Structure 1
Amino acid sequence: MDSESSLRERLTDVGVDLVTSEGSTSLGLREIARRAGVSHGAPRRYFPTHHALLSAIARRGFEDLGARFTAAVTDMASPRAQLQAAARAYVGYALECRGMFELMFRHDLLDSEKHASDGARLRESTLPLFDHFVALVARCRAERDSAYPGGPGVPAPPPPVTAAALWSNLHGIAQLWTWGSLQLALDAEPPGGAPHGDQLDRLVAAVLDAHLGPVSA
């Protein structure tokens, strides 16, 4: 790795450490440069804007989340089990890595071509995530239809629409739990932490049942 690539990686590494330990509001350009051991103007040589550096940091989050998806579904045989494992990994990541998760879905980064230092907008990093959910939804539908020919008699939305609704529901669970709203509504404990494993499993299962029907349907 040449010195320029090495410094780019170091700046990104520092940003990942910062957002993980101190949240997305800690990602000032001067602080990243200071912790990387370079002058405050040095990052500009490698990232045209502050948001370009933030986008590079957020891409690391998508890489991490993608790896967690892969690990979560490895031993799951059925599409429904894989989708439930992926959904649980998504919400679990959101609650465990709150600062990074917040950064990953900032619209000002996702929508801005001028902030893409490598020519790719951060938005493109979300597509494999969404496509993964769409593919699993389609496979769940195919498995259900083969098991129950004729189906429920009501046309289902296209897989991308169902996947979008499911994704939104999972994102909402993570956000509402972070705010404490779900704990209040469900009288759940702990009030300030992540849900217990069985709580999270029940919430994720309810989301899948709502959008795909119960397993026994």
Structure 2
Amino acid sequence: MDSSDDETGLRARLIEAGVDLVTREGAQALSLREIARRAGVSHGAPRRYFPTHQELLSAIARRGFTDLGARAAESVAGSEASSPRTQLTTLGRVYLDFALSNRGMYELMFRHDLLESNRLGLRETSLPLFGALVDLVGQVRPEADVPVVAGALWANLHGIAQLWSFGSLQLTTGAEDFVPLLHAALDAHLGPDPR
């Protein structure tokens, strides 16, 4: 194994340690020192591969976007025989399930400072998922300003995820799961389901 293989392996180990840490303990636990400790390297080692803490966090967040994108693509591909509206419902469920079962990663993925810095092209990693959303919204509402409607729907889903994780929506709506809220969001942005 040459040194480039060692470097690639250590870089991947640092990212994996960060993914594990954010999954188990949340975004607030992602210090360079703790990631290095869990990767089994000195606390200064991450700086060789990630010159700033923000770059390492961006690499970890990128993994989250990749995971969410793969889950979304798989779920939509599995429902291709369904109507675009049903595919949007499936996509919305996957998005909300991911957000609520991976709260630390979800929080990291949408950190303003990471998205603003756009390290490692982090913004672009969300574009394929948004593209799928735009495509499906366009099939349901071709007359609309499709990117705007898709953006509003995404913002609505993001809000549901945040407020559900805080317990606010359960308190105010009495809902036991987020599915009725998902359907209400789809109705609000796409019109009532014609079924």
TM-score interval, normalised by the smaller of the two chains: over 0.9
In the other structure, the counterpart of 2:107 is 102
Kept after mapping to 2: 8 A contact 1:134/1:159: yes
TM-score, with structure 2 as normaliser: 0.92
For 2:38, the aligned partner's letter is R
Q: 1:209 aligns with which of 178, 183, 187?
A: 187
| Corresponding position: 1:15 with 2:18 | yes
Are 2:22 and 2:30, in contact at CA under 8 Å, matched by a contact in 1?
yes
In structure 1, the partner of 2:52 is: 49
Cα-to-partner distance string for 1:102-152 (whole Å, 9 max, x where unaligned): 000011001115xx3xxx33111121121111111001224xxxxxxxxxx
Structure 1 segments (4+ residues) deviating >6 Å: none
Query: Contact 1:62/1:125 (CA < 8 Å) preserved in 2?
Result: yes
Residue 65 in structure 1 maps to residue 68 in structure 2: yes
CA contact (8 A) 1:134 1:163 kept: yes
1:138 aligned to 2:143?
no
Conserved? CA contact 2:58–2:114, under 8 Å: yes
Q: Within 5 Å, which residues of 2 pair with 1:186-201?
A: 186-189=173-176, 195=177, 200-201=178-179
Identity over aligned pairs, percent: 62
Task: Write the distance in 2 (CA, Å) between the matches of 1:75 and 1:111.
Answer: 34
Question: Distance between the aligned counterparts of 1:104 and 1:133, measured in 2?
Answer: 18
Unaligned runs of 5+ in 2: none
Secondary structure in 2 aligned to 1:39?
Answer: coil
SS in 1 for 2:141: helix
Greater helix proportion: 2
Q: In 2, Cα distance between the equivalents of 1:181 and 1:170?
A: 15
Structure 1 partner of 2:151: 164
User: Which is greater in Rg?
Assistant: 1
Q: Paired residue for 1:149?
A: none
Given candidates 34, 43, 49, the residue that maps to 1:31 is 34
Instruction: Give 5+ residue unaligned stretches, structure 1.
Output: 143-155, 190-194
Q: Distance in 2 between matches of 1:26 and 1:59?
A: 17
Take 1:52 and 1:75, find their aligned partners in 2: how far apart are those partners?
A: 34
Task: Work out whether residues 111 and 122 of structure 1, in 8 Å CA contact, stay in contact via their aligned partners in 2.
Answer: no
What is the CA deviation profile of residues 136-194 of structure 1, one whole-angstrom value per residue up to 9, with x for unaligned ones? 1001224xxxxxxxxxxxxx5410000010001000001111111101111244xxxxx
